Amino acid sequence: MIRVFDAFSGIGGFRSAFERVGGFKTVGWCEIDRFAQKSYRALFDTGGEQFYENIRDIDTAGLADFDLLVGGFPCQPFSVAGKRLGTADERGDLFFELARILEAKRPRYFIFENVPYEKMFIRDIMT
């Protein structure tokens, strides 16, 4: 059984796929949008799982162990449809929260998804 932490869970796209495939157990999830939280809870049995509203507030020392970290961090700062402010947008640095959790917990696997990145984002990360 692969234990999963579902960051930026939305209404559970990753989780839905994992439940269809089988062999995965969600141990925790994180979602800031209250309407998405309500939908997630309506769609899935979240009893006994850790829940965090804001990824910035996660204390990794108290975070359950997991094998797989998944997350689709906000795309607005990077999307060609947006202003493309990258890390200058307050949501643009949320990627680094995933990196912080990866570094602290060292899961065997991770999957991050987002829009295609502009060169400016890569430059922001490298500087």
Separation CA 88–CA 93 (nearest Å): 8
Cross-strand bridge partners of residue 25: 3
Burial letters 54-88, b for 16+ CB under 10 A, else e: ebeebeeeebeebbbbbbbbbeebbeeeeebbbbe
Active-site residue set: 75
